[in-house]
Structure 1
Amino acid sequence: MLHDSRDAHPIPLRRQRDYRFLWSARAVSETGSEVTKLAVPLTAATVLHASPLQMGLLTAASTFPYLLVGLPSGALADRVGRRRPVMTACETVSGLVMLSVPVAWLTGLLTIPWLIAAAFVVGVCTVVFRTFNTPHLATVVAESQRTEALAGFQSVFAVAQIGGPGLAGLLVALLTAPVAIVVNGLSFLASALCLRAVRAPEHEAGTRGAGLGREIAEGLRILIGHPILRTLCLTGMTINALGAAQLALYVVFAVRVLGLPGSLVGVAAAGFGVGGLLGAVLAPRLNRRYGENRVLLGSVLFFPVAFVGTAAAHGPVWLVMGQLGVAELITGVAVVCYSVCAGSATMREAPDGLLGRVNATTQFAVQGVMALGGLLGGVLGESLGLRPALWVCTAASLLVIPCLWLSPIRRDARLARVERSPSTARRPESVPEASRT
């Protein structure tokens, strides 16, 4: 029950019914999505013979909705009293759209524009779902358990990334890439059923009446004016833009340059899932011991590893798989530790009643820039070639380090370290890190 989760001593998350259903919804949906991450580009590259530029457009189609509806959805998330029905509708629509892809292929109607349109619709639903999910989580989980809850969701993503690529490879080999997409369609529908089973009451947000445009502007003002939130947003924009550029090239590069069979293209990504699962276990512990800011600073040092591993991969299949797998493993630990701490910091730093708008504005920038990144990757691949384009992304990925290390987060990390030391722990002038903005 909701009141149990908000007690001074809340019951463990694993014993909270509503959180278990939320966790289960994410588990089935993310596993299906991992299958689609391989099956959709493989369908485009091998069945429809897409060019690098078309692959870039396909990548951009799933992230462009962040630019289109990201900001309005944030204002609506703060206005709407019942967010769960909206989230359920998003999962249902996504499931039906993904099921249309194998049907179109079986009837001979599937084209690149069809795939792009499907990716766009699912992208819109994803934007709305994620925007509504953060304030919804705050009504289900106690504030003291939010870092643990976010880590639990990250463990879902990690497990999906471990099993998803192998499942995707098996399904592609047995059923062909288009038919494998059925798994994602069914997983969206299963997620919708899990969401309907959540019982936690939802409350009115209490932010109506200011006008949609004014509310969107307020979210932008908070994000731009808050040094911590602004830094996290800029860091996310940088790494996501470059990650999207790499993603637009990866499947074509793996198949045509590295010579990997389609069933193995996604297996190396399982290394990211293993690292992500380890990161989800470590993140709450590292946060308790070192604080969010120091974990954030340490995590970004490892972000470029996956870019280097992909661009430098060469040799026989077994060696390539090892290179990609190790690079993804290291990056998975770093990315999940960063994501958990960044999400917790955002929920803490966002003013009351503005979490939906702050989250949506952040997603608008961080995820929306992936549309541009996907196009950039396609253009670089066409003009420079696949491997040189990947090296350009690798060099640019180093920018995330000064982005965070030259920000107020480093200053706050130093202050928090001083406050944690035994010699200063009892000084009356010490201010808890959570109280600073």
Structure 2
Amino acid sequence: MFQPLPLRKQRDYRLLLSARAVSETGTEVSRLAVPLTAATLLGASPAQMGMLAAATSLPYLLIGLQAGAVADRLKRHRPVMIGCEVVSALAMATIPLAWIAGLLTVPWLIAVAFTVGTCMVIFRAVNFPHMVAVVHDSQRTEALAGFQSAYSLASVGGPGLAGLLVQLITAPFAIVVNAVSFLASAFLIRAIKAPEAHTPAPPRGMWTEIREGLRSVAGHPTLRALAGCGMTINFFGPAFIALFVIYSLNVLGLPAGLVGALTAFAGVGGLLGAALTPRLARRYGENRLLVLSVLLFPVDFVAAALASGPTWAKFLLMSASTLVTGMAIVAFSICFGAVVLREAPAELRGRVNATMTFMIQGVVALGSLTGGLLGELLGLRPVLWICAAGVLLTIPWIWFSPLRDSSAQPAR
């Protein structure tokens, strides 16, 4: 039986992982620097700030499904990935240049955010099937865990780096770091040598192909359950997050520093989840981990809603719950990707992934808006209880699906 080298010894995987780590860290810097540029230097209105926040995610709704169809048509995905990173780098580089020239405006920032968001949608659509060319089938879960580790590290270290850079060189010039990170990612991906043997799907019309992707998800019990579960957590999760900071500051009375520390605990939980999931998946299987991880989703919501008493007690409770939930969410994400790769037909992987992304990311903005509106109408703590109850709905999606039967999972 063929035994591939450990991932840490595979040059191409190290290059792909390094590309994602560099790019995600740069993106975390811009996640702070771009809104700061708009708010403090350009005097953006609340409406403009909302448009700026939505500009990055809007492409998921506009071209997410089409990107998946295109990904399945391609014989080679790597050139498209490189092109996306280069275009993103050039778009980001225009911000400090426009600031120096006195031309920078809020609409300019929105246009850059939309361009980078469009590139991100296309990149993720082609990166998913491309990973099959780099990673052996038996190592996909471990590879996905590596990517989740990179995302978690970026979420832990990126905001601190962003704050330091904004203080040292101001927000517009901190964005240069993101432009450089996109270019570095492009060079790392270009150095990958693994041959791409993807068999492109024959073009049959864009909407015909999109419908095939939609039918593949809707008609497959496992994929349908994963999509429903993902949409549920991505609706109630953002509703919770939209109110979390103001709830922590105004209702619980936590200092701003401790609120930031809670975010770091989520990242640490993600790192632990990424480290443990490959071993647990080898022992128990991805199906069983998915079944168990959804049971932990409500922990953070319930702990936040229950928090009371002295500051140290509230912080201790919420930091522990954030750590546990961070582990559960990353474990779920890793196993989610592995199961989608396993269950989706090879010729439809791009479209299945794009359909999943379209459905799951498409509800994020709706959840945030709903959380804010309910917070105005009902108060903050009641909305947290509503979110906790809503997240419980993730459990039946997984428990009443074929994923509950771990014996149906292929033997390793």
Give the SS at the match of 2:262. Answer: coil
For these two proteins, the number of residue pairs brought into alignment is: 410
CA RMSD after TM alignment: 3.1
Give yes or no for contact 1:134–1:359 (8 Å, CA) kept in 2.
yes
Distance in 1 between residues matched to 2:37 and 2:303, nearest whole Å: 25
Q: 2:16 aligns with which of 17, 22, 36?
A: 22
Q: 1:159 aligns with which of 140, 145, 153?
A: 153
Distance in 2 between residues matched to 1:170 and 1:105, nearest whole Å: 20
Give the SS at the match of 1:221. Answer: helix
Q: Mean alpha-carbon deviation: is it higher for 215-224 or for 107-116?
A: 107-116
Are 1:434 and 2:410 counterparts? Answer: yes
Unpaired segments ≥5 residues, structure 2: none
The one-letter amino acid paired with 1:82 is: R
Distance in 1 between residues matched to 2:390 and 2:277, nearest whole Å: 26
Q: 1:360 aligns with which of 347, 354, 360?
A: 354
The one-letter amino acid paired with 1:87 is: M
User: Per the alignment, do residues 302 and 99 of structure 1 end up closer, same or farther by CA in structure 2, a change over 3 Å counting?
Assistant: farther
Deviation track 1:297-327 (CA, whole Å, cap 9, x = no partner) reads 1111222333445566788987776565433
Deviation of 1:177 (Å): 4.2
User: Per the alignment, do residues 255 and 199 of structure 1 end up closer, same or farther by CA in structure 2, a change over 3 Å counting?
Assistant: farther
Give yes or no for contact 2:200–2:347 (8 Å, CA) kept in 1.
yes
Q: 2:190 aligns with which of 189, 196, 203?
A: 196
Per the alignment, residue 235 of structure 1 pairs with 229
Distance in 2 between residues matched to 1:308 and 1:176, nearest whole Å: 39
Counterpart mapping for 1:56-71 below 5 A: 56-71=50-65
Deviation track 1:182-204 (CA, whole Å, cap 9, x = no partner) reads 32222112111111111112235
Q: Mean alpha-carbon deviation: is it higher for 95-104 or for 382-391?
A: 382-391
Are 1:224 and 2:218 counterparts? Answer: yes
Give the SS at the match of 1:201. Answer: coil
Per the alignment, residue 245 of structure 1 pairs with 239
Q: Mean alpha-carbon deviation: is it higher for 95-104 or for 384-393?
A: 384-393
Q: 2:164 aligns with which of 166, 170, 195?
A: 170
Give yes or no for contact 1:91–1:188 (8 Å, CA) kept in 2.
yes
Q: Mean alpha-carbon deviation: is it higher for 244-253 or for 278-287?
A: 244-253
Give yes or no for contact 1:44–1:50 (8 Å, CA) kept in 2.
yes
Counterpart mapping for 1:353-392 below 5 A: 353-380=347-374, 389-390=383-384, 392=386
Q: Determine which structure has the larger helix proportion and give its number.
A: 2
Unpaired segments ≥5 residues, structure 1: 1-6, 417-431
Distance in 2 between residues matched to 1:164 and 1:70, nearest whole Å: 27
TM-score by length of 1: 0.83
Deviation of 1:399 (Å): 2.2
Per the alignment, residue 429 of structure 1 pairs with none
Per the alignment, residue 206 of structure 2 pairs with 212
Deviation of 1:378 (Å): 4.5
Q: 2:5 aligns with which of 6, 11, 20?
A: 11
Distance in 2 between residues matched to 1:368 and 1:84, nearest whole Å: 26
Q: 2:33 aligns with which of 2, 25, 39?
A: 39
TM-score by length of 2: 0.87
User: Per the alignment, do residues 256 and 102 of structure 1 end up closer, same or farther by CA in structure 2, a change over 3 Å counting?
Assistant: farther
Q: 2:133 aligns with which of 139, 142, 161?
A: 139
Give the SS at the match of 1:157. Answer: helix
Per the alignment, residue 180 of structure 2 pairs with 186
Counterpart mapping for 1:259-408 below 5 A: 266-308=260-302, 325-380=319-374, 389-390=383-384, 392-408=386-402
The one-letter amino acid paired with 1:139 is: A
Give yes or no for contact 1:60–1:374 (8 Å, CA) kept in 2.
no
Q: Identity across aligned pairs (percent)? A: 59
User: Per the alignment, do residues 232 and 49 of structure 1 end up closer, same or farther by CA in structure 2, a change over 3 Å counting?
Assistant: farther
The one-letter amino acid paired with 2:88 is: S
Deviation track 1:52-104 (CA, whole Å, cap 9, x = no partner) reads 66555444332221111111111111111111111111112222323334445
Deviation of 1:295 (Å): 0.6
Distance in 1 between residues matched to 2:118 and 2:304, nearest whole Å: 30
